[in-house]
Structure 1
Amino acid sequence: MTRLQGSPVLRRVLVAVALLIVSIFVIDLLSDFRQGQVASVAYLAIAAGGLSVLTGINGQLSLGHGAFMAIGAYTTAKLVEDGREVPLLLLLVAAVVMALVVGGVVGVAAARLRGPYVAGATLALAVAVPSLAIHFRTTLGGEPGLRVSAPEIPQVADDALFFLTGTEIGTMQWLATVSTACLILTFFLLRNLSQSRVGRQWRAVRDDPVAAQLAGINLGRNRVGCFVVSAACAGLAGALMALVTRVAAPSGFTLILSLTLIMAVVLGGLGTLSGALFGAALLTLLPTYVTNVGSGLGLTDLQSAELAPLVLGLTTMAVVLLAPAGLVGSLAPLLRRARPRAR
């Protein structure tokens, strides 16, 4: 117990393992549709978590993280093209490495820019990358995109999950479990990184670049490093998105996706991983719920579908006005104040 109290990393490891075990049982109880929603929340939260670290901790605003998700998705699609069977771990690692490399190149250029110019440069990236798939239609499939075959479930994983749950595992259940495991691992790494010396340097660069430079902190290296980490998260999210949706197409990686990630971070709270998860869940589940409510009220399918963006927009405006730090970011100080009273 003494070792557990004195080691935050060990506590986070135990929490991560416990969350993974609980998520396996919860996913097993859900329908295929709900399992797909869990997978969607997971890969959106991974990308939003990386963006939250980049913007909230390091102070860089990126409007192009949908482009890094596209890089991860197309990397996965090309590796499994023509029915090639590639281990799932290799697919995910390849997507992360490719996004990391491109993120390093973009990060070096972005590190020389300040304020809105960084957002403008990444905005251009978000617009340009989907267009490349249309221009190189022979290689990247054009507007229809590339089909992504469902990965085979490894026998070891199948046996282990059957041992835990006592039921046969389906493809969507496997993808939801993998996506959730990747989410837990990513948040575990981001949490440790943000609390380490590197994370403290990122905050120093955000708060006062001049003072950070006088303290011996390399501004460019820290900005590029944070950008690369964030891009790698987006690449992993893109690979999972391609596996879940079974396609990598330009229509899935438009500027709207990048803005959706920004919205998830704003709703949850900048710099908070739990806020990124909450924002991703809200953006995934709220439209479906509002559409179902609209249909129940007698609206047509078109009217119900148009109602969802309206409610989402009003919700975002309300959060910005009433809770500028985000829902999780605004509640956290209240919970910290109430904790001593509970004792």
Structure 2
Amino acid sequence: MAAVRRPRTYAWLLGSVLLLALPFYLDRFWLQAGLFAMAAAIGAIGINLLTGATGQLSMGHAFFLAVGAYGYCVLAGENSVESGHRLTGLGLPSWLAAVLAVLIAGLAGGLFSPIAGRLRGAYLGIATLALIFIGQHVLFNARDLTGGFNGRTVPTLSVFGFDFDDTEVVVAAVPFESAEKLWYAGLVALAAGALFARGVLRGRPGRAMNAIRDHRIAAGVMGVPVARYRAAVFVLSSMYAGLAGVLLALVFQRTVPEYFGMILSLEYLAMIAIGGLGTVAGAVVGAAFVSLLPRFLDRYSDALPLISAPGTGGVSPGEASRYLYGAAVVAVVLFLPGGLTRLITPVTPGEKK
């Protein structure tokens, strides 16, 4: 066992050093792509706790990302006028606004948790799908808060006087702007979220969640408070989504209601199905695959067959990526039920294949 763990430890150390060094070598396009992947990974960890580990199907994950993103904008923004609309902002310190936005996303999940604690399967999926329609209606019509169709500008994150903006900070002869600065903030958020989720899954709560997923009635007989656990995991998943929404908003620098729709929720389900259900590594791997694929296709569309630039009449990078998501999900379900992480993680005795 020690021989197996040692190469894995070395791989984690090498990967960590590589991630820390990437801002010194990558251009802004790939740094932003990496930040999108980090935000996606945080959100995917949350939905994997809910769907992969506890067996609760959620189609409304994008709603809680929107709560986090717009909550941050309202809390940290100032009263202003954009595109002819007067926007409301509380002007709180941006670091405090980010924390409160995550808590508000958890509160939104808490308000829905009584329903989540009592429904399961397709019924819960349909109920959470309603959140998407409600959220889209609010985002497009609550213009004082959201800016309506045009969205609103995202305030710059500032932590104790250090601004994550485009003001250059030269480090080892490399100019650090917003993308480089946010890279390390994203790494910290992803590492904290991954370690916390790993501790939950490996501890007593994780065993209870898996018992609820595998056999709900038996879990209740063994003394597991099924409804309470389901509600709590839904709140936790919503907070992960809120954190992902805050990071996405900071990377986009402008929130747009159309982004937080049903397609985004489906992409998160594809992430955990492709990467591997019920594991932190599966969420991260699946998020990297799903979030980076369209940007890779967009960057190299001129050199790839059957793919053309958007608006030219051919298959756009976004459409091609969705076709590949679908093909990947089918391939994983048929040939690799454990997800892509099964390729690098050996099956231990007594573990489900």
Q: Shorter chain as normaliser: what TM range?
A: 0.7 to 0.9
Q: Is the 8 A contact 2:156 2:163 kept in 1?
A: no
Query: What's the offset of the Cα at 1:181?
Result: 1.2
Query: What's the offset of the Cα at 1:165?
Result: 5.2
Gaps of 5+ in 2: 80-89
Q: Deviations over 1:296-321 (max 9, x none)?
A: 15754132524333333323322222
Could you say what the CA RMSD is over the residues aligned between the two structures, in angstroms? 3.0
Provide the C-alpha distance between the structure 2 equivalents of 1:163 and 1:138, rounded to a whole number of angstroms.
Answer: 38
Q: Is the 8 A contact 2:75 2:97 kept in 1?
A: yes
Provide the C-alpha distance between the structure 2 equivalents of 1:111 and 1:221, rounded to a whole number of angstroms.
Answer: 7
Report the count of equivalent residues.
Answer: 325
Higher RCO structure (Cα 8 Å, ≥6 apart): 1
Query: What's the offset of the Cα at 1:103?
Result: 0.6
Q: Tell me, yes or no, if structure 1 residue 261 matches structure 2 residue 268.
A: yes
Provide the C-alpha distance between the structure 2 equivalents of 1:20 and 1:91, rounded to a whole number of angstroms.
Answer: 29
Gaps of 5+ in 1: 338-343
Q: Which one of the candidate residues 285, 309, 313 is aligned to 1:301?
A: 309
Change (3 A) 1:211 1:318: closer
Q: Deviations over 1:7-38 (max 9, x none)?
A: x9xxx9x9999866653222332211111111
Q: Is the 8 A contact 2:94 2:155 kept in 1?
A: no
Q: Tell me, yes or no, if structure 1 residue 150 matches structure 2 residue 156.
A: yes
Change (3 A) 1:19 1:291: closer
Hey, what does 2:71 align to over in structure 1? 75
Q: Tell me, yes or no, if structure 1 residue 316 matches structure 2 residue 329.
A: yes
Q: Is the 8 A contact 2:270 2:325 kept in 1?
A: no
Provide the C-alpha distance between the structure 2 equivalents of 1:332 and 1:20, rounded to a whole number of angstroms.
Answer: 18
Provide the C-alpha distance between the structure 2 equivalents of 1:74 and 1:171, rounded to a whole number of angstroms.
Answer: 20
Query: What's the offset of the Cα at 1:141?
Result: 1.1
Q: Is the 8 A contact 1:62 1:123 kept in 2?
A: yes
Change (3 A) 1:16 1:50: farther
Query: What's the offset of the Cα at 1:140?
Result: 2.0
Q: Which one of the candidate residues 269, 272, 276 is aligned to 2:283?
A: 276
Q: Tell me, yes or no, if structure 1 residue 104 matches structure 2 residue 110.
A: yes
Alignment-mate amino acid for residue 309 of structure 2: D
Provide the C-alpha distance between the structure 2 equivalents of 1:27 and 1:85, rounded to a whole number of angstroms.
Answer: 31
More strand by percentage:
2
More helix by percentage:
1
Q: Tell me, yes or no, if structure 1 residue 176 matches structure 2 residue 183.
A: yes
SS in 2 for 1:82: coil
Provide the C-alpha distance between the structure 2 equivalents of 1:312 and 1:203, rounded to a whole number of angstroms.
Answer: 27
Q: Tell me, yes or no, if structure 1 residue 64 matches structure 2 residue 70.
A: no
Hey, what does 1:325 align to over in structure 2? 338
Alignment-mate amino acid for residue 195 of structure 1: R
Q: Is the 8 A contact 2:272 2:286 kept in 1?
A: yes
Q: Which stretch shows the higher mean deviation, 182-191 or 299-308?
A: 299-308
Provide the C-alpha distance between the structure 2 equivalents of 1:321 and 1:57, rounded to a whole number of angstroms.
Answer: 20
Provide the C-alpha distance between the structure 2 equivalents of 1:133 and 1:122, rounded to a whole number of angstroms.
Answer: 17
Change (3 A) 1:102 1:16: farther
- Written as runs of structure 1 = structure 2, the 5 A alignment for 1:1-343 is 22-82=18-78, 86-152=92-158, 167-297=174-304, 300-302=308-310, 303=314, 305=316, 306-329=319-342, 331-333=344-346, 336=348
Query: What's the offset of the Cα at 1:85?
Result: 6.4
Q: Deviations over 1:225-263 (max 9, x none)?
A: 111111100000001111110122211101111111001
